Amino acid sequence: MGVVIESFVWEPTSTVFVFFLLSTFLSIFLLPYFAKNRTFGTFDHTVSSSFARFQRWFLAIYTLSSVMEGIWSVYGESELASYGVSKESMVFYLCVGYSTSLLLGPLLGVLSDLIGQKRICLLYCVLQFFVGVWKRITMSPSAWFANVCLSLAGLIHSFGFETWLVVEHEKQSQRNDSLNETFWLMTFLESASLIGGQVLANWLSDGNVSIALSATASMFLSVVAIFCIVRTVKEPVKTLPLRDYSAAFYAYVLGDKRIWFLGTAQACLQFSNAVFWILWAPTIVADGREVNLGLIYPCFLGSRMLGSTVFPWLMSGQSLLRLEDCLVYIYAILGIVFSVVAYDYQEITTLVVLFCLFHGLAGLILPLLARLRTMYVPNELRGGMISLCQVPANAAILFCLMQRGYSQKIENSTMMALSAVSLFTASGCIYLLRRWGKSPHQDWHKL
């Protein structure tokens, strides 16, 4: 007599998706009725027509670029696996990407400040287009070329669009409310676009045909994004000489301890976020149970969308805490979350809840950090500052990949513990930033 063992696949229930959808909807549409600052956010009608037009074009371009990021982030591993690429080779390709970011990242940030943010965003679209053309012609993983180009494109995506926004905002002398509104909308739309990228990648996944279809989709989106960027306002040619830029960067960025604190907090978040995306799937399936990872991924991004909608509530006068105080507590909570995961806890439901909490709070941190960069960093040096702060994060990620992927000297739990330590460090840096104070805003832009 045989014994039938029923297989069980863990997956989130539909109630979870309804919760994220309903909570996000209520958070957005109840804001104007409860906000103390009635001029804040999407409902502010004091924005000039020219900036409102730029804002619409900008958000459309940023959404397209995020969809392109989502296609390759979701489809990249499955593409390599379809060609029989081993896990060790995938780790090597990751190391190539992070090495490229480590070496060329600061140069791209400085280049964006010197030639203009609109041109660097065009470069992002061109890189995405080249990757699509290469994959469409060769029909092969082309991991070296693709990883280098996509790593450079990811770097530009992390600082180019944000810097373009704040420079245009300052040029048109708009209220800070409109800038804060766009910050949280960027995080919200990026998360939604990553979900759209997953849907598109899954729809296009059909053996070797999927490579051509994904490449074609990336090419089409990049061409549309290029057209939209060209249609935006004209950007004047930068006139700041490299010598003057270097002197200003040393005085206003490298010579200011407050920006060191802010940059360290930014790097710690980037490191912990990269560790999460590398280890979340192995951590969840560590106990051997079958899990539908494709349904858990949208939960993370849905929680991130929900977290981003909390930002306008904080900026509208509902919070009694300063931005720095909020970040101190949020970073500390994230450190506790990673500490629990590093303890090798293996209950799937609890892990998913903790990871959703991480993404929800990360969705709130991103616009808060963007707001602090606006307060402390000159717009003319913003691209160089953001890219420079990514250097220690990329170096730490590369070190962990080499120690874990090749030498097997550290475990996954150790990487999670390092992420927890980095988040607690970021909380301390924001606390020191709060105690250090702030100079008047007008002193920062006399370059």
Specify the pLDDT at position 444. 44
Name residue 206's beta-bridge partners: 208
Per-residue pLDDT tens digits for 334-349: 999 999 998 866 788 8
Specify the pLDDT at position 440. 40
Closest of 441, 393, 444 to residue 419, by C-alpha = 393
For residue 388, which amino acid is it?
L
Confidence class for position 404, pLDDT limits 50, 70, 90: confident
Distance CA 252, CA 385 (A): 10
Is the pLDDT at 3 greater than 80? The verdict is no
Q: Which two tokens stand for residue 192?
A: 């939604």
Is the pLDDT at 311 greater than 60? The verdict is yes
Specify the pLDDT at position 360. 94
Report in angstroms the alpha-carbon separations of 24 from 84, 298, 308, 314, 362. Answer: 41, 14, 9, 15, 15
Per-residue pLDDT tens digits for 25-70: 999 888 877 766 544 444 454 667 777 888 889 999 999 999 888 8
227 vs 82, more confident: 227
Confidence class for position 84, pLDDT limits 50, 70, 90: low
Per-residue pLDDT tens digits for 227-241: 999 888 676 656 577
Name residue 10's beta-bridge partners: 291
Average pLDDT over residues 274-293: 83
Average pLDDT over residues 307-336: 85
Whole-model pTM: value is 0.89
Which pairs with CB-CB distance under 8 Å and at least 24 residues apart come from 131-137? Answer: 131/72, 131/215, 131/218, 132/215, 132/216, 132/217, 132/218, 132/219, 132/222, 133/215, 133/219, 134/215, 135/211, 135/212, 135/214, 135/215, 135/218, 136/212, 136/215, 136/216, 136/219
Average pLDDT over residues 108-119: 89
Specify the pLDDT at position 302. 92
Residue holding tokens 């810097």? 163
Per-residue pLDDT tens digits for 171-225: 876 667 778 888 999 999 999 888 877 776 666 655 444 667 777 888 899 999 9
Is the pLDDT at 369 greater than 90? The verdict is yes
Specify the pLDDT at position 447. 44
Specify the pLDDT at position 361. 95
Cβ neighbour number for residue 293 with a 10 Å cutoff = 13
Confidence class for position 141, pLDDT limits 50, 70, 90: low
Specify the pLDDT at position 78. 64
Specify the pLDDT at position 338. 94
Specify the pLDDT at position 441. 43
Q: In the predicted model, what is the mean pLDDT of the chain?
A: 82
Average pLDDT over residues 99-104: 89
Is the pLDDT at 75 greater than 70? The verdict is no
Specify the pLDDT at position 379. 87
Closest of 161, 75, 168 to residue 125, by C-alpha = 161
Specify the pLDDT at position 171. 81
HSE value, Cβ hemisphere, 13 Å, CA-based, for 238: 20
Average pLDDT over residues 123-147: 79
263 vs 441, more confident: 263
Confidence class for position 362, pLDDT limits 50, 70, 90: very high
Average pLDDT over residues 364-384: 91
Specify the pLDDT at position 363. 93
Distance CA 78, CA 84 (A): 10
Radius of gyration of the chain (CA): 22
Residue 27 contacts residue 42 (beta carbons within 8 Å): no
Residue 80 contacts residue 144 (beta carbons within 8 Å): no
